[in-house]
Structure 1
Amino acid sequence: MRPIPRSSRFRNGGVSFWFRESGLPERRAALPGDADYDVCVVGAGYTGLWTAYYLKKAQPDLRVAVVEREFAGFGASGRNGGWLSAEFAGSRERYARSHGKSAMIALQRAMMATVDEVVSVAEAEGIEADIVKGGMRLVATNAAQRERLAEEIDYLQEWGYWPDDIHLVEADHEPRLAVHGAVAAAYSPHAARVQPAKLATGLARVVEALGVDVYEGTAVREIRSRTGAARPAAVTDHGTVYADHVVRATEGFTSTLRGQRREWLPMNSSMIATEPIAPALWEKIGWNGREVLGDTAHSYVYAQRTADDRIAIGGRGVPYRFGSARDRDGATQPQAIAELWRALTRMFPDVADVPVEHAWSGVLGVPRDWCPTVHLDAETGLGWAGGYIGSGVATSNLAGRTLRDLILGRETDLTRLPWVGHQVRGWEPEPLRWVGTQVIYGLYRTADRRESRTPEERAHTSRFAGLATRIAGR
């Protein structure tokens, strides 16, 4: 393989490209000592910020604090691919078994409405996050992927999508997007491109203006439940925050909390961003509608055309580190950079000479059954939401609105959705979860290689992919 062209400004790790572009926010003060609130939210990512936002909008006199180890948007909220989409990661059948099919369909329709909710709140609150609701396009580049894409559309149309919500598109569908080797494509209008860091920092400013106390540089070591007369609490390295309700909104960082190491697996996801692409190349590529773009491989990628005309593309890369370890610097391993570059140039060979300017990584939370959840335990006073498995930009907003209703004691359509109260066992101890993760993603990559070489007349989803899915318990 030819060397990957790298910009003279190439950077690997540190903050994401999104923060490099928008600039790091000025750090807020740390927690000054022990404190007392009505609600304490642990984690200043999307989930925590949306929860605080909706609580204060609903009840302005509520005393709310958000406590963050680094700074608002430091984690997945400021590192993701900028897909604000109606995709929901969990098993629809699993939720339907406990609540019925109609409840799962209601959850999917709520996800579609959530895309518009985020767009409208950003507009109303003056959050400039480069949002363009251009929809989502998924492409298939071999016969097996084409078959799988058609099956996925049929499946989704049984679970809350109507034909206008997702459908196959014709080759000359406008706006034009020329993906090399594409043999089929699907389109859904329920998605928008966002600049993730701008959304996070803008939301943090709005929340603070509403009267929420946001403490940064304050690591929470333990979350304690209500015990007798003792109130729930978040124990930090700067003091203890006592509250009527403590909400865990830590997603991929949940394993850092005492007693939570096996709760959610911190899955690594990596991205690269090119230098700005010349107008002549964009004429060949198209992408005028600014749709978010994904493929239908098992080791899939996701991409966007940025506001300043770069391509930012991401994928799983090296998905998991032994012992739930995290790379605090956000550096991306050379193998992951190479895989993303190959995926990018397969899709768009004409950009092969455009240098890569930034590579970065982050972690997201994965429950053992791969199903997101939102919950409030009235007895312990503890709440949590997460396990979004890569679909958190929109799902976190739905979680924040749902936590608002649960904390305020409201029974609403949101609190009746089937992911509310969903619980699952923890992950296996090491080395089992590390070995299992390596096997699963190795099988998916093998399946992709086999499908790309299989003649069209014999093209079906590889058995290796089915085996990986069974091992994963999805």
Structure 2
Amino acid sequence: MDPALTPSFWLDSLGPFTRRAPLPGDTTADVAIAGGGYTGLWTAYYLALAAPHLRIVVLEAEYCGFGASGRNGGWCSGLFPVPYRKLAGRYGEDRAEVMYRHLADTVDEVGRVAAAEHIDCHYAKGGTVSLARTPAQLRRAEASPDFIDAETAARICGATGVLGGTYSPDCAALHPARLVRGLASAVERRGVTIHEGTRVLSLTRGSVRTDHGTVRAPTIVRALEGYTAGLPGHRRTLAPVYSLMIATAPLDPATWSRIGLARRETFSDDRHLIVYGQRTADDRLAFGGRGAPYHFGSRVRPRYDHEPSVFSALRRTLTELFGIDPPIAARWGGPLAIPRDWMPSVGLHEGLGWAGGYVGDGVAAANLAGRTLADLIAGDLTERTTLPWVGHRSRPWEPEPLRWLGINAALRATALRDTWERR
């Protein structure tokens, strides 16, 4: 295998580690959490703080951070996949404003906990800039209250052909694998038990069945995100769609002087088929995007992490953005979860809790979801428990082959729309 094809640059940079022991057999707990990523760990963290007497068990098929939490673009942002106007139209201006305010505040909360728990996740709150580089993109940017002119946008991010853009302060760049692994250790220090190498086979009210035994608990939490479709009864709950990334070798100071991102602002442009990037703490460009196909039957396989055509497209886009052709040090990918209506959700009903469907914007949202689940499980009525996503149920995706046809047709149409706009 190409040495540049790693589980992720982030995970690979941490070096070797020892997995935690799997579940030794049948056991009981007060709360059993399926999934050792951000959502499951943040839920365990805040619940352990609020109710330290509870016996909390986290069950992870591989190791903490194996999924999207250890592979994502490292954007801890206040972004939400449902646009503000659409959310306000459904839930009212007041509730939409509160939702977006909580997400913005969550960016700071992640930084606060990382500092308090001594998690060196390279957190840098420089904000995020989305560049407008075609007339159509400029028109969209000008309609935003966050619009910035070409000179301001280019000063933040010195890409080619910048016509304007938008800027939000509500984003921090970070090293996602350092965050998730540090969070796992912080959770253990608070008495939570984590079993790695323990695959969840099914969830029912009061029990989690795994390949190493059954955990019985009055409260069960599903926090599997892109791997949710593998559970019986959840094939159509969330669609696993792949996002892929590349990381360059460290760039020289002269190149960074031209590119900018001096405060490690995250960056994208206003195309429809999403791209995203950051300047890492060791002066690389970590850059990713959508475009990999959805796989029939919501299948998730290791080989889908690597799509040569998408890696090539990402490299071409990076070269076109910045006029550079640097060595690529790593290539990787993984599934994220998309609900049918693109609306993430959090909930607890008759002892079964869940959170997810972040559509790729989960680094901060998972923290807010974890705090919300902790409130719901502890029985605390807070402003978080009244947010619009609490108790939301997206309708299921269509059965196959309609799901495969629809998602891949939408991906193709999105790419064609960008091509048309560039021309």
TM-score, normalised by the number of residues in structure 1:
0.87
Q: Would you say 1:376 and 2:348 are equivalent positions?
A: yes
Aligned residue number for residue 113 of structure 1: 105
Secondary structure at the residue paired with 1:365? Answer: strand
- Quick one: structure 1 residues 330 and 27, their matched pair in 2 at CA, closer, same or farther if it must change by over 3 Å? farther
Aligned residue number for residue 300 of structure 1: 274
2:220 and 2:149 map into 1 onto residues whose CA distance is 46
Q: 4, 9, 12: which one pairs with 1:11? A: 4
The Cα offsets for residues 140-175 of structure 1, whole Å up to 9 and x where unpaired, read as: 110001111222x24xxxxxxxxxxx3424514685
Secondary structure at the residue paired with 1:240? Answer: strand
Q: 383, 386, 395: which one pairs with 2:356? A: 386
Contact conserved, 2:153 with 2:162, CA < 8 A, in 1? no
Secondary structure at the residue paired with 1:283? Answer: helix
- Quick one: structure 1 residues 143 and 56, their matched pair in 2 at CA, closer, same or farther if it must change by over 3 Å? same
1:280 and 1:409 map into 2 onto residues whose CA distance is 55
Aligned residue number for residue 30 of structure 2: 38
Secondary structure at the residue paired with 1:383? Answer: strand
Q: In the TM superposition, what is the alpha-carbon distance from 1:358 to its structure 2 partner?
A: 0.8
Q: What aligned pairs does 1:141-290 form with structure 2 within 5 A after superposition?
A: 141-151=133-143, 153-154=144-145, 166-172=146-152, 176-225=156-205, 232-290=206-264
The Cα offsets for residues 243-297 of structure 1, whole Å up to 9 and x where unpaired, read as: 1100000000001111111110001000001111111211222221210001110
Contact conserved, 2:247 with 2:287, CA < 8 A, in 1? yes
Q: In the TM superposition, what is the alpha-carbon distance from 1:239 to its structure 2 partner?
A: 0.5
Secondary structure at the residue paired with 1:11? Answer: coil
Contact conserved, 1:175 with 1:289, CA < 8 A, in 2? no
Aligned residue number for residue 472 of structure 1: none
The Cα offsets for residues 433-467 of structure 1, whole Å up to 9 and x where unpaired, read as: 111111101111111111111xxxxxxxxxxxxxx
Secondary structure at the residue paired with 2:142? Answer: helix
Q: 324, 330, 333: which one pairs with 1:361? A: 333
Secondary structure at the residue paired with 2:384? Answer: coil
Aligned residue number for residue 314 of structure 2: 340
Q: Would you say 1:430 and 2:422 are equivalent positions?
A: no
- Structure 2: runs of 5+ lacking an equivalent: none
1:314 and 1:98 map into 2 onto residues whose CA distance is 32
Q: Which amino acid aligns with 1:11?
A: A
Contact conserved, 1:48 with 1:249, CA < 8 A, in 2? yes
The Cα offsets for residues 162-219 of structure 1, whole Å up to 9 and x where unpaired, read as: xxxx342451468542111111121111100010000000000000111100000000
Secondary structure at the residue paired with 1:139? Answer: strand
Q: In the TM superposition, what is the alpha-carbon distance from 1:116 to its structure 2 partner?
A: 0.3
Secondary structure at the residue paired with 1:415? Answer: helix
1:395 and 1:201 map into 2 onto residues whose CA distance is 18
Q: In the TM superposition, what is the alpha-carbon distance from 1:407 to its structure 2 partner?
A: 0.4
RMSD value, Cα: 1.6
- Structure 1: runs of 5+ lacking an equivalent: 1-7, 155-165, 226-231, 454-474
Aligned residue number for residue 311 of structure 1: 285
Contact conserved, 1:95 with 1:419, CA < 8 A, in 2? no
1:255 and 1:172 map into 2 onto residues whose CA distance is 43
Contact conserved, 2:31 with 2:220, CA < 8 A, in 1? yes
Q: 340, 361, 385: which one pairs with 1:415? A: 385
Secondary structure at the residue paired with 2:256? Answer: helix
Q: Would you say 1:81 and 2:73 are equivalent positions?
A: yes
Q: In the TM superposition, what is the alpha-carbon distance from 1:95 to its structure 2 partner?
A: 4.2
1:365 and 1:180 map into 2 onto residues whose CA distance is 32
Contact conserved, 2:153 with 2:164, CA < 8 A, in 1? no
Aligned residue number for residue 58 of structure 2: 66
Task: Indicate the larger mover: 24-33 or 66-75.
Answer: 24-33
Contact conserved, 1:91 with 1:371, CA < 8 A, in 2? no
Number of residue pairs the alignment of both structures matches: 423
- Quick one: structure 1 residues 277 and 146, their matched pair in 2 at CA, closer, same or farther if it must change by over 3 Å? same
Contact conserved, 1:29 with 1:217, CA < 8 A, in 2? yes
